[in-house]
Chains A and B, each alone.
Chain A
């Protein structure tokens, strides 16, 4: 598939945000805040970065993606729907009984989901296992995982980080969606994870710090990751939680609740206007 232009990516990401808002509205639950902060990262990964084929989601040579911050799946699902893994209307059944799209990613029910996740800290270890499998099998596929910054409070993240550098997993890219907020407050207040760049560096990672809403910076960091040998790569992507919906931006309260009908109308209007504006620029 041909790569998308930055203008096209912006449209897709705005649509992914709309999908996340619609999906969680229909579910009457879910996590819009982090879904909106990570939407640009998901969009770039699925459309321009990863070697994946929605018509052959089990291809053994495909690149892998593990959403370690599994609760942010609504926008990932929206991106995957646009990429062709399943129908967009599945988003309206998100979290419903019998739905393909579970509240947290389920590799058994959703085509294209490479790992079940949702318990924070666990996805990054699974990503390490996949990257190790590629090394053992002499395959050149790459493994990407997205973590939350609050998630970096989990000890398992650092067990995995040690493992990744110890095993020279240069086919692994860890992206931290650094939106600065977690359930009980700001990450700074609750967990005190900084300095995160120095932590990853001291754990043996090559680190890039970027604006997680800037596609040129996302591309530059992921391109650089491919040039690093014998070390895993961490991208600390500064983002805005709730990005794209005015009343959700930087609001702790929008971590884990869905819009009501009135809020949905406002959010939809904002995002549809933005989509129209961005489409005019394509």
Chain B
């Protein structure tokens, strides 16, 4: 196992942008006065001529990105998830997704783990918003190594992509020596047939800790990491439903419209089983330290273990 890196995925994203931009001259990065926070500042420092700060005007930024893409560039438009996907939703729908332009949208400070800034900045709806757009790829990587590979894959894909970035520094759990990112393919992190836990993003590592701890109690839970919410890996979900009989979804997002719904859409059509949803239950967040909030909202190892135990009992 490789060394554990404690890094926010926004930083991994910034690093991957730089790495790709060295060989691909068409990559252009836009930000809306949050470069230091979204970590596009890493790119800005290295490639100032290919970076444009659009100011606090997200709607225009997404439109500019659409124009750049229509003229053959590969624009990356970054802001907080709230403003990138919320404020500029209609620009994304009509100027980016409708003409299927090659724009990469990066939403940082997603989820409750944004912390002290509180509800206005803790976007819990971005995946739902982006998932409904035809042709949009939606990525939610879980650690440093996965974010590096996902960002590279997004830049290589010809089409619109939304990629969710976190503010909070988190431990890596993937091994860069063996890790392979395949767009649209879930990854089984732990085998088991008692129940399948399907997780995405920052909470995957919490689910991993929960599943590994429960193994010692004799509970064999399967753990699947879904880094690509759209197009979702139907096969891995159906197989889990068939072999485990029940599913638990874990996400740092409203249970409406996110991973839970994406999974239920598959199971209800192909293999109806009980799905227990761990996520934010149709409410707004509030201010507080990130880990305390994650604990409060039941998104850490403690609550995931509790739910798994209840589910398999």
Q: Which A residues are within 8 Å of any B CB, using their own CB?
A: 60, 64, 66, 106-108, 114-119, 121-134, 136-137, 155-156, 159-160, 162-163, 166-167
Enumerate chain B residues within 8 angstroms of A129, measured Cβ to Cβ.
Answer: 63-71, 75
Considering only CB atoms, which chain A residue lies closest to B88 in the complex?
A156
Distance between Cα atoms of A167 and B100 in the complex (Å): 26
Contact among A126, A137, A166 for B70, CB-based, below 8 A: A126
- By Cβ-Cβ distance, the 8 closest A-B pairs, closest first, are A129-B67, A125-B63, A133-B71, A159-B60, A126-B67, A159-B57, A129-B64, A116-B99
Say how far B172's CB is from chain A's closest CB, in angstroms: 35
Say how far B87's CB is from chain A's closest CB, in angstroms: 11
Question: B91 near A122 (CB under 8 angstroms)?
Answer: yes
Interface readout for B44-65 with A: 1 if CB under 8 Å, 0 if not? 0000011010110101101111
Considering only CB atoms, which chain A residue lies closest to B69 in the complex?
A129
Considering only CB atoms, which chain A residue lies closest to B98 in the complex?
A116
In addition to A130-B70, A134-B71, A163-B64, 10 A-B residue pairs with Cβ atoms within 8 Å of each other are: A115-B66, A116-B99, A117-B95, A124-B63, A125-B63, A129-B66, A136-B50, A156-B57, A162-B60, A163-B57
Distance between Cα atoms of A129 and B64 in the complex (Å): 4
Say how far B66's CB is from chain A's closest CB, in angstroms: 5
Determine if B94 is an interface residue (Cβ-Cβ < 8 Å): yes
Question: B95 near A116 (CB under 8 angstroms)?
Answer: yes
- Range for the number of chain B residues in contact with chain A: 20 to 34
Enumerate chain A residues within 8 angstroms of B91, measured Cβ to Cβ.
Answer: 119, 122, 125, 156
Give the one of B54, B63, B69, B94 with max A CB within 10 A.
B63
Give the one of B49, B59, B70 with max A CB within 10 A.
B70
Considering only CB atoms, which chain B residue lies closest to A167 in the complex?
B52
Determine if B90 is an interface residue (Cβ-Cβ < 8 Å): yes
Question: A156 near B60 (CB under 8 angstroms)?
Answer: yes
Give the one of B62, B64, B98 with max A CB within 10 A.
B64
A-B contact pairs, 8 of them (CB 8 A): A60-B71, A64-B71, A122-B91, A125-B64, A129-B69, A130-B67, A136-B50, A166-B55
Contact among B63, B68, B90, B98 for A133, CB-based, below 8 A: B68
Question: B67 near A127 (CB under 8 angstroms)?
Answer: yes
Say how far B279's CB is from chain A's closest CB, in angstroms: 32
Question: B71 near A156 (CB under 8 angstroms)?
Answer: no
Question: A115 near B67 (CB under 8 angstroms)?
Answer: yes
Enumerate chain A residues within 8 angstroms of B100, measured Cβ to Cβ.
Answer: 108
Distance between Cα atoms of A106 and B68 in the complex (Å): 17
Enumerate chain A residues within 8 angstroms of B75, measured Cβ to Cβ.
Answer: 129
Question: B54 near A163 (CB under 8 angstroms)?
Answer: yes
Considering only CB atoms, which chain A residue lies closest to B75 in the complex?
A129
Distance between Cα atoms of A127 and B91 in the complex (Å): 14
Question: B52 near A162 (CB under 8 angstroms)?
Answer: no
Determine if B28 is an interface residue (Cβ-Cβ < 8 Å): yes
Say how far B89's CB is from chain A's closest CB, in angstroms: 11
Considering only CB atoms, which chain A residue lies closest to B55 in the complex?
A162
Question: A125 near B52 (CB under 8 angstroms)?
Answer: no
Determine if B72 is an interface residue (Cβ-Cβ < 8 Å): yes
Determine if B209 is an interface residue (Cβ-Cβ < 8 Å): no
Within 8 A of A (CB), among B201-241: none
